[in-house]
């Protein structure tokens, strides 16, 4: 049954059919953990389809600026399994994340309208090296270095970074309400 091997990957964006753009894989299911779909999308459609996920997010999440040398943007929950992926010391990582997330309160520092639910961590805070991050080190930065943002403003910052870097995402996991951290990685 060799025929299957020659089946061609669908070309272009599954939503708008754009074939000029490099496509990105949006995995709403987080590799089967949550309900949703997996779709190959152009950047424009990826941006459009993820915007409502950020806006409807009802948790609190540490959002690390997407950086180069990565082809994925992952979400993590507070489960033991996820925390082990974040840090060699999962308990320490959880404590650090929760301390940082306590700073998410009140209105968005950008638009000053919507309620903040993301804490934005600029790439400079971890030298744009996702593979070297220790979450606890983020606590050494002054509080005002990480602005709390609403879903819409957070989404804008994520996509302006992705547009600037011209990263192609083999995997993007949009936020679900359980998400406590979003971060670049390698698929
Ligand atoms: Zn498209
Ligand atoms: Zn805002």
What are the C-alpha distances in Å from 5 to residues 1, 8, 10, 48, 163? 8, 8, 14, 32, 33
Expressed in angstroms and rounded, the spacing between residue 27 Cα and the centre of ligand 1 is 15
8 Å CB contact between 122 and 106: no
Average pLDDT score over the chain: 93
Q: How many CB atoms lie within 10 A of CB 25?
A: 18
8 Å CB contact between 54 and 175: yes
Q: What is the pLDDT of residue 36?
A: 96
Measured on CA atoms in the order 156, 104, 31, 66, is the torsion positive or negative? positive
What is the per-residue pLDDT across 2-14, written as a single tens digit (0 to 9) for each? 555 555 555 799 9
Q: How many CB atoms lie within 10 A of CB 185?
A: 15
Among the bound ligands, the one closest to the CA of 155:
2
CB under 5 Å of ion ligand 1: residues: 13, 15-16, 18, 42, 45
What is the per-residue pLDDT across 57-101, written as a single tens digit (0 to 9) for each? 999 999 999 999 899 999 999 999 999 999 989 999 999 999 999
Give 183's Cβ-side CA count (13 Å radius). Answer: 24
pTM, 2 dp: 0.92
């Amino acid at each position: 049954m060799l025929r299957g091997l020659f089946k061609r990957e669908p070309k272009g964006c599954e939503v708008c059919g754009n074939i000029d753009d490099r496509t990105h894989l949006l995995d709403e299911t987080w590799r089967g953990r949550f309900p949703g779909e997996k779709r190959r999308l152009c950047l424009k459609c990826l941006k459009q389809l993820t915007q409502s996920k950020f806006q409807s997010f009802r948790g609190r999440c540490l959002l690390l600026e997407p950086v180069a040398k990565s082809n994925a943007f992952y979400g993590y929950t507070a489960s033991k399994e996820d925390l082990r992926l974040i840090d060699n010391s999962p308990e320490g990582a959880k404590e650090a994340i929760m301390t940082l997330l306590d700073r998410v309160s009140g209105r968005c520092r950008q638009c000053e309208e919507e309620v903040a639910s993301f804490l934005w961590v600029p790439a400079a805070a971890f030298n744009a090296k996702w593979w070297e991050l220790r979450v606890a080190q983020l606590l050494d930065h002054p509080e005002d270095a990480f602005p709390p943002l609403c879903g819409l403003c957070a989404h804008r910052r994520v996509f302006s970074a992705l547009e600037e870097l011209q990263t192609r995402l083999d995997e993007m996991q949009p936020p679900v309400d359980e998400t406590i951290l979003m971060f670049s990685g390698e698929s």
